[in-house]
Structure 1
Amino acid sequence: MNSYTLAGRGSRLLLRLRLNGQRRLNSTKPQDQAKDVPSRSTTIPGPGMAWIEPLKEPFRAYGRMQHRSPYITQLSTTLIIYFLGDLSAQKVASDEPYDPSRGLRALIIGGISSIPNYKWFMFLGNHFNYKSHARSIATKIVINQTFFTPCFNTYFFGMQSLLSGQTLAQTKQRVIDTVPVSWKNSWKLWPAVTAFSFTFVAPQYRSVFAGVIAIGWQTYLSWLNMKAQKEEDERATVSAAKAPLTAPSTALPAA
């Protein structure tokens, strides 16, 4: 047997081994191949992160609701937020029993403003987006604090006054007493909330994230409104006490 015969047999043997290996690879079941490849979607969290999984499902359900019926979801969420905020404010700021009329006013105010507020933040999220993320966030914060916050606070306190039966002059005084201080204090909270929301929170979850923060903020606004109302009542009492009494006329009719 010469060298050419051995070389030919060796080539055929090598080709046969390659074909057999390719057949085995092709015959492997897809599920068997998947066992060797880690999947991100089926990764089981470690013991330290397992507690997060039950918390994700309510947010996923809310995101699905928000996608299907954004207006109904927003209205329902806002009513819950305003009810809890007013309930908390009445418990914190007053020793008197719960006043359902105040709670009803809060629900009316929240219900009217829910959809416009939702539209505003959708507009804010879709605009002022620049190449620089820091510039985008700073612009959104400045525009929100300059335009939305004072307008909303004026609406909130003005409606609180009007729905409680106050006159236009009294409503104007309520706005003067509450809007500047509430706008000033809003800078301590909402810029950070806005920056975090537009940086880390997905659009479908931003309303519920802001809503959780807004429960505490609505508590503060309701407390500030009740405080202003008490001060106005005290001023009215003092003014009434200082007013001169009108003496009845004792003059005799002319003869």
Structure 2
Amino acid sequence: MMIALYRAPIKFGARSPWLRLPRSRPQHGQRNTSNSTPAKDSTNAAKQDKLPPHTPYEIPVEGAKAEPVDIPIQLWYHRLGPVSTFFRWFHRTQEKRPHAVQVSMTLITYLCGDLSAQEIGGEPYDGKRTLRMLTIGAIASIPGYKWFLFLGRNFNFQSKVASIATKVAVNQAVFTPIFNSYFFGMQALLTGEGPSGVITRIKATVPTSIVNSLKLWPAVTAFSFWVIPHQYRFMFSGIFAVAWQTYLSFLNRKEEKIELATDSMLRPVIPEGKVVK
């Protein structure tokens, strides 16, 4: 009787291959006459007898080399363990409380942008200015989040390139002018400007901001819709929004200085006791 030896497929974590021997049932009427076999071995033998004939059982063979096995391991996941953990936590939190997450991320973005702008401007820190920025960001966070969800659901064509190009064009033509007008208008309104002052601020800042937005946001928006999953697009855009809010805050402060200088020239301060002829 010949015994066939073969190797079983190597499982992950196995230390060595296995030698498989065919198991056959004892012949009819054959009894185990050995009295030296322990009770445990008798139990195992009874279980083995219930298996169908020619069922292999495994015996480890020492000294044999394990054959290489391709194991699909996501190396990037192991190398970026903390980052992956953060993204999983962020995704779960966003699914449970999407609006709270968007408001929190927006406030962080606007806070960082304002602090950077005040640092660049070289002026003493103004807490009221930061409070205005946070108020503007909190009001705009949910509409901005809804807008990008709207873009993701619409303008989807058979061509992915055409879809993304349309989304970018619609975003630049609709969202950017409305948001920039809201931002600079609210800045003027919160500083005590009247309707004419709000309109003047918008006319002076919005065209410049729209032109400069073409240098950044079309590329960011296209990459976001092309690569980034929809649940992470807002957070991805927030990375660039810090720099953008820094620029908007700086531009708004620059226009404020111009308006203050213009007002001082139109209404010069007259020293007390001096009579104007």
Q: Same fold (TM over 0.5)?
A: yes
1:134-149 correspondence to structure 2 within 5 Å:
134-149=161-176
- Is it true that 1:24 corresponds to 2:60 in the alignment? no
Counterpart pick for 2:143 among 116, 119, 134:
116
Task: Give the aligned residue type for 1:45.
Answer: L
Change in CA separation of 1:132 and 1:86 when aligned onto 2, cut-off 3 Å: same
Which digits, 9 at most, give the CA deviation of each residue in 1:72-95, with x for residues without a partner? 1001111111111111111112x2
Report the CA distance shift for 1:246/1:169 in structure 2 as closer, same or farther (over 3 A). Answer: farther
C-alpha RMSD over aligned residues: 2.7
Where does 1:1-255 land on structure 2 (aligned, <5 Å)?
23-24=55-56, 38-40=70-72, 43=73, 45=75, 51-93=79-121, 95-241=122-268
Identity %: 46
Q: Describe the SS at the equivalent of 1:165.
A: coil
What does the per-residue CA deviation read over 1:147-172, in whole Å, with 9 as the maximum and x for residues that have no partner? 00000000000000000111111111
1:4 matched residue in structure 2: none
| 1:38 shift after superposition | 4.3
Change (3 A) 1:69 1:162: same
Counterpart amino acid of 1:224?
A: L
Distance in 2 (alpha carbons) for counterparts of 1:44 and 1:175:
50
Distance of aligned partners of 1:191 and 1:166 in 2 relative to their CA distance in 1, 3 Å threshold: same
- Secondary structure of the residue aligned to 2:56 is helix
What TM-score, normalized by structure 1, do the two folds share?
Answer: 0.78
Please identify which structure carries the higher helix content: 1
Q: 1: CA distance between counterparts of 2:139 and 2:147?
A: 14
Aligned residues: 217
How much has 1:203 moved relative to structure 2?
0.8
Give the C-alpha shift of residue 54 in structure 1. 2.5
Structure 1's unaligned 5+ residue stretches are 1-15, 29-34, 249-255
Task: Output one character per residue of 1:125-163: Cα deviation in whole Å (capped at 9) or x when no partner.
Answer: 111011101100110011000000000000000000000
| Distance apart, 1:96 and its partner CA | 2.2
3-state SS, counterpart of residue 267 of structure 2:
helix
TM-score normalised over the length of structure 2: 0.72
From the superposition, tell whether residues 201 and 44 of structure 1 become closer, same or farther in structure 2 (CA, over 3 Å): closer
Q: For 2:202 and 2:128, how far apart are their aligned partners in 1?
A: 20
Could you tell me how far apart the structure 2 residues matched to 1:202 and 1:53 are?
A: 19
Determine the C-alpha separation between the residues in 2 that align with 1:57 and 1:178: 41
Higher strand share: 2
SS for the counterpart of 1:217 is helix
Amino acid in the other structure paired with 1:202: P
Report which of the two structures shows the higher radius of gyration computed on alpha carbons: 2
Deviation digits for residues 179-211 of structure 1 (CA, Å, limit 9, x no counterpart) = 000001101100000110001101111111001
Question: Structure 2, unaligned stretches of length 5 or more?
Answer: 1-23, 25-51, 60-66
Once the two structures are TM-superposed, the CA of residue 20 in structure 1 deviates from its matched residue by 6.2
Q: Which has the higher contact order (CA 8 A, sep 6+)?
A: 1
- State the SS of the aligned residue for 1:24: strand
The secondary structure found in structure 1 opposite 2:80 is helix
Q: Aligned pair in 2 of structure 1 residues 67, 179: CA closer, same or farther (>3 Å)?
A: same
1:191-241: per-residue Cα shift (whole Å, max 9, x none)?
Answer: 000110001101111111001110110000000000010011111112224
Query: How far is 1:67 from its partner?
Result: 1.0
